[in-house]
Structure 1
Amino acid sequence: MKTIIYTHPDPHSFNHAILTRLCDHFTATAQPFAVIDLYQDHFDPRLTPAELQTYAQGQALDPLVERYQTLLAASDELLLIFPIWWHQMPAMLKGFFDKVLLPGFAFAEDPNWRGLLPTITKASVITTAGETKAELQARPGDPIQTTLINGTFADIGIAPGNCQWLHFGRTGSVTDTARQQFLAALPQLYQQGQ
Structure 2
Amino acid sequence: MRVLVVHAHPVEESFNASLFRMTVDQLKAKGHAVDPVDLYADGFNPVMSRDERLSYHDTGTNRKPVEDYVDRLLRAEALVLVYPVWNYGFPAILKGWFDRVFLPGVSFGLVNGKVRPTLHNIGSILVVTSYGGSRFRTWLMGDPPRRIANRMLRATIKPGGRVTYLAHYEMNLSTDQTRQAFMTRVEHALDRI
* TM-score normalised according to structure 2 size: 0.89
Secondary structure of the 2:23 match is helix
User: Distance in 1 between the 2:39 and 2:3 partners?
Assistant: 16
User: Distance in 1 between the 2:18 and 2:122 partners?
Assistant: 25
Note the residue ranges of structure 2 that are not aligned, 5 or more in a row: none
Taking the TM superposition and a 5 Å limit, the aligned residue runs for 1:178-189 are 178-189=178-189
Query: Is 1:126 aligned with 2:128?
Result: yes
Partner of 2:48: 47
Matched-pair identity in %: 28
Taking the TM superposition and a 5 Å limit, the aligned residue runs for 1:1-194 are 1-58=2-59, 59-62=62-65, 65-111=66-112, 112-136=114-138, 138-154=139-155, 156-159=156-159, 162-191=162-191
1:169 deviates by 1.3
Q: Which amino acid aligns with 1:179?
A: R
1:89 deviates by 0.7
1:26 deviates by 1.3
* TM-score normalised according to structure 1 size: 0.89
- Superposition RMSD in Å: 1.8
User: Distance in 2 between the 1:160 and 1:91 partners?
Assistant: 29
C-alpha contact 1:51 1:61 (8 A) present in aligned 2: no
User: Distance in 2 between the 1:185 and 1:153 partners?
Assistant: 21
Secondary structure of the 2:41 match is coil
1:160 deviates by 7.3
User: Distance in 1 between the 2:64 and 2:121 partners?
Assistant: 24
Going from structure 1 to structure 2, the CA distance change for 1:70 and 1:49 (only over 3 Å counts) comes to same
User: Distance in 1 between the 2:92 and 2:145 partners?
Assistant: 14
Secondary structure of the 1:172 match is helix
Secondary structure of the 2:171 match is coil
Note the residue ranges of structure 1 that are not aligned, 5 or more in a row: none
